[in-house]
Amino acid sequence: MERHDGMNFATRAIKAGEGGDPTTKALNTPIYETSTFVYENTRAFEQGIEDAMSWQPGACLYSRSTNPTTIALERKIASLEGAEDAAITACGMAAVNLALLSNLNAGDHVIASDDIFCCTRSSLEDILPSKGIEVDIVKVTDIKNIEEKIKPNTKVIYLEVLSNPRLELADIPSIADLAHKNGITLIVDNTFLSPYLLRPLEWGADMVVHSGTKYVVGHGDALCGLVSGTKKMVDRVRYYNDNLGTHISPFDSWLALRGVRTLPLRLKKQCENAMALAEYLEAKPEVEYVYYPGLKSHAQHDLASKLLKDGFGGMVSFHLKGGYEEMSTFVDSVQMMPIATSLGDVVTLIHPKHHEGDLIRLSVGCEDINDLIADLELGFAALKK
């Protein structure tokens, strides 16, 4: 594998972690669809077990633990995050839970943000407390809320840097400073921004997780979770990943490798489209409010301008004047945007969120902006009938 230290992000998205296959000379990283790996003799086998069980780089024993395709993805993600190491899991929720479980034990306390993915909330409010871990849920946009909940047994602060679905932006540098003054680990879910738009480790976070299914894969065809940090912390995640069987398949790792190469290209277009749609929606009289950090009306716009130098993301949430009927009429009238969960796809997705106050969430894709606006116009036209 070639080294690409010092190269720009877009180059590392293509090159880092990969190189010509040493066996076949193939340009692209192969899909190593094998469950186990062969050793020449007993001594080599014993050494292989020792290396694999101590997480030595590149040591492959069994594909639940490590696989060459996944190792290439790990190296690429570590490079893009500016991390010492990265681990890959089966999906985003595996990454979230392994990051939490590898840093928390019974009797410990975690502080988490209130506007957060529903499955993460289930883990925080149900699964962790059932295992003897204390949890406090607070609004992290006011750092005083976090400070007031810190206790002697607080081990982790966990948050989504750009929250789901209200797109509230956390002040990572300030929260990291507070965490480290109190000996607390800061874990940040950066799914909504990707390492292209924000690298939380550079702003003081200790560990970063992603649902790589979203922007890293980028094409809606593979599940993938990412955890980045120091090798010591990531090795602990690998231990849990191995023992709990939350490993990714080699084929999904390969799809993620293919997808991440175009991450900068996709995000540039998605940010451009999202900004245009947010401005368009904010000007519509039928819209009550729009959440998008690129808008001056956003509560954390100044912070967003400081942290997000390459774009404000591809997610836009908005609320129509009215309630459920207006939301459903609008969403059911657009034709080009599929009604679907998930996000980060090159295809724009529309997600009606009745249980979030009849909010409409857009995951903005890479289509022509004029076509996207024309599609939303169908929704507004239906409201007038």
Q: In this predicted model, what pLDDT tens digit does every residue of 288-337 receive, in sequence order?
A: 999 999 999 999 999 999 999 999 999 999 999 999 999 999 999 999 99
> Which residue is listed with tokens 């231990």?
239
360 in Cβ contact with 327 (< 8 Å) = yes
93 in Cβ contact with 164 (< 8 Å) = no
Q: How far apart are CA 9 and CA 12, in angstroms?
A: 5
251 in Cβ contact with 258 (< 8 Å) = no
Asked which of 54-63, 244-253, 292-301, 362-371 is least confident by mean pLDDT, the reply is: 54-63
Q: If you write DSSP's letter for every residue of 142-166 in order, what string do you get? A: SHHHHHHH--TTEEEEEEESB-TTT
Q: How far apart are CA 195 and CA 13, in angstroms?
A: 10
Confidence of residue 224 (pLDDT cuts 50, 70, 90): very high
Provide, rounded to the nearest whole percent, the portion of the chain with pLDDT above 70.
99
Q: How far apart are CA 309 and CA 316, in angstroms?
A: 18
CA 292: distance to chain centroid? 18
- The answer, yes or no, to whether residue 51 has pLDDT greater than 60, is yes
71 in Cβ contact with 115 (< 8 Å) = no
Residue in 206, 185, 201, 204 with CA at minimum distance from that of residue 109: 185
* pLDDT tens per residue, range 125-157: 999 999 999 999 999 999 999 999 999 999 999
The maximal CA–CA distance of the chain, rounded, in angstroms, is: 78
- State the angle between helix axes of 92-101 and 231-244 in degrees (0 to 180), rounded to the nearest 10: 110
User: So what's the pLDDT on residue 5?
Assistant: 65
User: So what's the pLDDT on residue 23?
Assistant: 81
115 in Cβ contact with 166 (< 8 Å) = yes
Its CATH architecture, for the domain 103-201, is 3-Layer(aba) Sandwich (3.40)
Torsion over CA: 346, 352, 355, 356 (sign): positive
Confidence of residue 9 (pLDDT cuts 50, 70, 90): very high
| 94 phi/psi in degrees, rounded to 5 | -60, -45
CATH class entry, domain 1-91+213-261 = alpha beta
Q: Which fold has domain 265-384?
A: Aspartate Aminotransferase, domain 1 (3.90.1150)
Mean pLDDT across the chain: 96
- The answer, yes or no, to whether residue 201 has pLDDT greater than 90, is yes
Span 157-175, mean pLDDT? 97
Q: How far apart are CA 277 and CA 281, in angstroms?
A: 6
- The answer, yes or no, to whether residue 111 has pLDDT greater than 60, is yes
| 318 phi/psi in degrees, rounded to 5 | -150, 160
- The answer, yes or no, to whether residue 347 has pLDDT greater than 50, is yes
User: So what's the pLDDT on residue 185?
Assistant: 98
Confidence of residue 6 (pLDDT cuts 50, 70, 90): confident
* pLDDT tens per residue, range 52-79: 999 999 999 999 999 999 999 999 999 9
Torsion over CA: 1, 220, 268, 140 (sign): negative
**Which 8-state DSSP code applies to residue 320?**
E
- The answer, yes or no, to whether residue 3 has pLDDT greater than 80, is no
Confidence of residue 4 (pLDDT cuts 50, 70, 90): low
| Number of residues in the chain | 385
Q: Which residue intervals of the chain bear CATH 3.90.1150.10?
A: 265-384
> Where do runs of H (alpha helix) occur along the chain?
9-15, 42-53, 68-81, 92-101, 118-122, 128-130, 143-149, 172-181, 194-197, 231-244, 250-260, 263-282, 301-307, 324-333, 369-384
User: So what's the pLDDT on residue 24?
Assistant: 84
Burial class of 105 by CB neighbour count within 10 A (0 to 12, 13 to 18, 19+): exposed
User: So what's the pLDDT on residue 1?
Assistant: 44
- State the angle between helix axes of 369-384 and 324-333 in degrees (0 to 180), rounded to the nearest 10: 130
Torsion over CA: 289, 291, 294, 300 (sign): positive
User: So what's the pLDDT on residue 128?
Assistant: 98
Q: Which residue intervals of the chain bear CATH 3.40.640.10?
A: 1-91+213-261, 103-201
The sheet carrying 85-89 orders its strands as 85-89, 225-229, 207-211, 185-189, 154-160, 109-113, 134-138
Structure tokens, 130: 């059932």
Q: How far apart are CA 268 and CA 276, in angstroms?
A: 13
Segment (H or E) for 189 = strand 185-189
